[in-house]
Amino acid sequence: MTGDARVTGDGRVTVSEFRLLGPVTVCDTAGGIIAPSGPKQRALLATLVLHAGQLLSMDRLVEELWGSAPPANASNALQAHVARLRRLLPAPGHEWISTLPTGYLLAPGRASTDVARFTRLSGQGRAALPHDPGQAAQLLQRALSLWRGPALQDSRHGPLCTTEADRLEEQRLTALEALYEASLQCGRSTGITAGLERLSADHPLRERFYDLLMLALYRGGRQAEALGVYERARRHLITTLGIEPGPALRARLEAILNHCPTLTPPPHQTPPPSPSPSLHQHPSPTARSHPSGPPRRPGPARSRGDRTDLMTSPAPACTADPPALTPLTGATGPSSPAASAPSAGLMGHGTSAGLMDPWASVGVPAGSPGGAGMVAPAAGAGCSDLTGSAGLTGSVGLTDLGGSAGFADPAGVAGSADLAGELARLRARIEELARDQQDLLRRIQREQAVR
């Protein structure tokens, strides 16, 4: 049983904790759970507990339970609900609910609430974050483990409970942000991306989750996917609110493009355990649910074994610099490597115009003044599968999954209709990714020109 167990001097059972972070229940000192049977009783108990020690008028309680359509005998109905709650709460020598001339008052006595414990632990965790991120992560994990579901679940009938539930949900999201920041400060990056993906999908207007996800991906050597996260956030904000991302998210994009040294994890930190998936599986009722996480924009081609974003065993701190990403700062004239390459394509493979995943590097589109040409696919260039260096060709030369048998045209493969269809889909996907990258590069150039 959580909470401080308190028993009267004669050993009789009494209330030890009121629980509001989930379904409204009462925990007694014998380890039992008391749950009011009806939604009106749960809403009444939650309202009284949230305003413990304060007088609540009958009019406010009636509005909380019935809103603008109270019953004809609202006072009598309220009295009946209060009487049922009194019989429900064990009260050896203590009167929990007092009747006053103008309303009712709940006297908490020595009983605590899970809300008070969550507020205390999360506050201590945020305070410890700047100087001891490991300790901060432990405190925040303990605070978030108190949540059993949305705050005041099935009890939000009126303005008092609704306002308090919204406030508590905001505190929960703030604690989650601090927890993931503590994990990143301790050097953990690969074990937390799945949780951040779900949170950014469940709360798409909360830019901080995008920011933390971009940093985690970059530190894990997945900077192309980090750029894709920024584009996803920007597209959603423009579509939903008609605004661009805020200064913090734009600064994170600039830092990733320029490989800012501040993005590297601090040295000699012991990574805390990955945040448990259960800590963010209680979104608000209006939030979307993505049990397996939302689809990610494709990143650089890699084998399946390189995917390490599952919340499994603790991962060591990132010690090596992420793979290089071509920045957009500075002009690339005729003397630049990009302009003098034999075939200045994206991620050229040897001397052929190899086109890897268009999100794998960032260059300047062809035709820009002084820019490195982003060469169109040329005939004769090789195109491998997802595990090789991809280049799109006029004759569609494709290496099979084994990386050895090449063929010129899908129609030339005897009886291989399925493989030909797969080839066509790969070709369309590569062209679509190239168009997406060009759009992103143009937007980044416009933003840099404005600045």
Contacts of 322 (CB under 8 A, 6+ apart): 218, 219, 220, 221, 223, 259
Cα separation, 389 vs 400, in Å, equals 12
Query: What pLDDT score does 414 carry?
Result: 41
The H or E element that residue 233 is part of is helix 223-241
Q: Which pLDDT score is estimated for 31? A: 83
**Measured on CA atoms in the order 283, 286, 292, 295, is the torsion positive or negative?**
negative
Of 250, 63, 90, give the one whose Cα is nearest residue 157: 63
Q: Tell the residue number behind the tokens 């059972």, with chain if given.
A: 13
351 compared with 434, residue with greater pLDDT: 434
| Global confidence as pTM | 0.60
Mutual angle of helices 58-66 and 39-50, in 10-degree steps: 140
Which residues, 6 or more positions from 242, have their beta carbon under 8 angstroms from its beta carbon?
none
d(CA 16, CA 225): 49
Position 336 pLDDT exceeds 50: no
pLDDT of 159 reads: 94
* CA dihedral sign, ordered 327, 333, 335, 339: positive
Phi/psi at 420 (nearest 5 deg)?
-65, -40
Q: How far apart are CA 228 and CA 251, in angstroms?
A: 15
Tell me, what's the pLDDT at 287? 37
Q: How far apart are CA 277 and CA 7, in angstroms?
A: 35
Helices and strands: H and E segment counts in the chain: 12, 10
Please give the Cα distance from 141 to 144 (Å, whole number): 5
Question: 359-418, pLDDT tens digit by residue?
Answer: 333 333 333 333 333 333 333 333 333 333 333 333 333 333 333 333 334 344 344 556
Q: Which of 26, 22, 25 is nearest to 147 (CA)?
A: 22
Q: Which helix (H) or strand (E) holds 135?
A: helix 133-144
Read off the pLDDT of each residue in 142-147 and give the average, rounded to a whole number.
Answer: 97
pLDDT at 422: 73
Q: How far is CA 25 from CA 41, 48, 82, 135, 150, in A?
A: 11, 13, 16, 30, 13
Residues 6 or more apart whose CB falls under 8 angstroms from that of 445 comprise 328, 364, 368
> Among 10-19, 33-42, 67-76, which is the least confidently predicted range?
10-19
Using a pLDDT cut of 70, give the percent of the chain over it. 64
CA distance 269 to 180: 15
pLDDT digits (tens, 9 = 90+) for 85-111: 999 888 777 789 999 999 999 998 888
pLDDT at 82 over 60: yes
Take residue 272 and report the two structure tokens written for it. Answer: 């805390």
Q: What is the pLDDT of residue 110?
A: 86
**Confidence class for position 113, pLDDT limits 50, 70, 90:** very high
Mean pLDDT of the chain: 73
CA proximity to 437, closest of 337, 325, 324, 335 = 325
Report how far residue 70's alpha carbon sits from residue 51's, in angstroms, rounded to the nearest whole number. Answer: 22
Structure confidence at residue 212 (pLDDT): 97
Distance CA 432, CA 316 (A): 36
DSSP 58-71: HHHHHHHHHTT---
Nearest partner of 230 among 208, 210, 255, judged by Cα: 210
* Nearest of 433, 195, 435, 441 to residue 299 by alpha carbon: 433
Closest CA to 175 of 95, 275, 253: 275
